[in-house]
Amino acid sequence: MPDVKILPADVIARIAAGEVVDRPASVVKELLENSLDAGAENIELHLTSGGKTLIHLKDDGSGIARADMDKLFCRHATSKISSGDDLDSILSLGFRGEALYSVSAVAELTMKSRVKGSKDTWEIKVRGGVRGVPAPAVMPCHGTDIRVEEIFFNTPARKKFLKSDSSELDQIVNVFLPYSLLYPAKHFILTHNGRGVYDLQPEKSGAVRAAKALAFDAGHIISFESALHDGIRIRGLLGDINIQRARRDAQYVFVNGRPVTSKGLLFHMNDVYRLIMPEGVHPFFVLFVEIPAIDVDVNIHPNKREVRIRDEGRIGSLIRRSVETALMTQGGPKEVSEDIFKFESGSSSTGKDQGIPSAKLVFGPGHPLPASFVPRFSSGSFAEGRDSSAQKSADFFSYTEQIAASREGGLKERLLRARFIGTFIQKYHLFEEERGLFVLDQHAAQERILFEAFARQMKSGLIEVARLLTPVIVRLSPREILLWEKAKPVLFELGFESGLMSEGVVAVQTHPRLIRAPEAAFRALLTEEPGAIPVRDILARRACRASVMTGDRMHADEAREQLKRLLACDDPFTCPHGRPVFIEIKESFLDRQFLRTG
């Protein structure tokens, strides 16, 4: 065994820093928490190159005295706790005393600070963990001014894993927004490369702050608060049925004033929303849970986002009751706007469809199925892998892709001969053929048809677009504007021509003709990580999914036509996400259920 060695101090510092600081967003989190713990009312965050080159934070908090500056950059130096007993009642955002120590170990840091009520300002510089001597400086008012430059300059292995500027900026925004929602009465400013991203003025209402930060209509945000129950209080903001998201990107949970990640609490919140929202769309909410500090353990990980909560099941039950009551008593109805936009071709389309299943016909008047919907190409890159669990169907739910492996031609012939006998709950088409019953998922079938048609157009580079005489107006949050700017060239290739109409407002002039709900599809494409816009097949899959709704009413002729066009697809047996389109219920199965032996 090699000799055991004590590592040098600089190596120890870099190892410790790796637990706290893994990207610019980690630095921003620690600096924001220090500013808030210092009682700052105004916080400015200025970034360059997604925070990789510069993170500059200014606040008007209580400031740092000259005598404390030397201690700040020592490990486990903190003013938040003083003994082990304090770990059982942590109320501040920071407490570990590792933030500034870790940041200064992997970057060049310059800090100026002036204590409230004092005329003296002091400045200290630290580079790679090597501290300078505090020196007099100048600041216009009390508070702290910190510049973090060239992050990971001395840890190239970590630096090379940083992503694009827009990607790192998006991560920082995800850190910045929760604190702005937590403190609506404080002023938050965020700029990037000299350009303003957020300027959130102090608000008296959390609902107004959320509406401005996330570009929502404040009229669709419900504020609620439950009575104190055994030291537990639950309050928050709930989006009503009119605020719907393609992803869970507008859901925030706070425990005792700390933004946290809690799968259990998120599950309870989303499950309650299933009362008013269909699958495939996600709600907006901000949940604040206040419980006795002794019942929360925040000292699990250096990032302090993971917590353990005692009796989480009971708290979940209280949340469900409170949220359900608020939604049922304060929630408004779904607002439907039937603004009709005309194409140059003379056809029409509904401009605002946010995802609720409608009663429009898939192939009915105003939504004809053009001949170009039938794909005539073969491309393996657009075929999704099948779920191996689907092979366990025996002779009950025998998925047709399993049969297709041995006799695809025969199966298609059987399906073409099948007789349509009806639709079950406007969701499944029933086809009878010889001694079997085929059940077709109309949503999955239509998704496959649209997906392959769109994929064919993308492959040829000739996407059929519909040009709107009156553009679709899409209001976006500052974060979504950043995503739109990054994705604009790809969106154009996909048939979405758009331009900035005014601050936070984008006008969509064209969309792919195959997309029935252009605004929903456009928003779905903006949920991707900036700087990493996915390949075209993923974009096509998202766009098609946004345009097809379960619950559309179809007549018998339309169901037969859908089946015909589906069977013309390259892969008619699964939807683009790998789920089955058909199942077959055999006569032998039904005979066994009815105890028939002959």
Shared domain for 286 and 170, answered yes or no, is no
Domain residues for the domain of 212 are 206-330
Q: Report yes or no on 594 lying in a domain.
A: no
Helix ranges (DSSP H) in 160-301: 165-182, 206-214, 263-273
Please give, one letter per residue, the 3-state secondary structure of 178-192.
HHHHHCCCCEEEEEE
How remote is the C-alpha of 21 from its chain's centroid? Answer: 23
User: Distance of CA 547 to CAs 44, 504, 506, 523, Å?
Assistant: 40, 24, 20, 11
Shared domain for 85 and 229, answered yes or no, is no
Contacts of 174 (CB under 8 A, 6+ apart): 25
**How far, in Å, CA of 102 to CA of 99, rounded?**
5
Total domains present in the chain? 3
**What Rg, from alpha-carbon coordinates, does the chain have?**
29
Shared domain for 399 and 302, answered yes or no, is no
271: domain CATH number?
A: 3.30.230.10
DSSP letter (8 states) at residue 568:
T
Walk along the chain (598 residues) and give the pLDDT tens digit of each residue: 566 555 555 555 554 554 568 899 999 999 999 999 999 999 999 999 999 999 999 999 999 999 888 778 766 555 544 444 444 444 555 444 577 888 888 899 999 999 998 999 999 999 988 889 999 999 989 999 999 999 998 888 888 889 999 889 999 999 999 999 999 999 999 999 999 999 999 999 999 999 999 999 999 999 999 877 778 899 999 999 889 888 899 999 999 988 998 888 999 999 999 888 877 789 999 999 999 888 887 655 555 567 778 888 888 889 999 999 898 888 766 654 444 333 333 333 333 333 333 333 333 333 333 333 333 222 333 333 333 333 333 333 333 334 334 334 467 777 778 888 888 887 888 888 877 888 888 888 888 888 888 888 877 778 888 888 889 899 888 888 888 888 888 888 888 899 998 888 999 999 888 777 788 778 877 765 544 445 556 656 665 665 555 566 778 888 888 888 888 887 787 777 667 788 888 878 888 878 876 6
304: which 2 tokens?
A: 């302090």
Q: Report yes or no on 323 lying in a domain.
A: yes
Shared domain for 234 and 348, answered yes or no, is no
Q: Report yes or no on 591 lying in a domain.
A: no
Q: Report yes or no on 100 lying in a domain.
A: yes
Q: Report yes or no on 370 lying in a domain.
A: no
Q: Report yes or no on 3 lying in a domain.
A: no
Q: Report yes or no on 55 lying in a domain.
A: yes
Strands 428-433 and 419-424: antiparallel
Shared domain for 192 and 218, answered yes or no, is no
How remote is the C-alpha of 147 from its chain's centroid? Answer: 30
Q: What angle do CA 86, 90, 93 make, to 5 degrees?
A: 135
Q: Report yes or no on 377 lying in a domain.
A: no
CA-wise closest residue to 446 among 341, 537, 551:
551
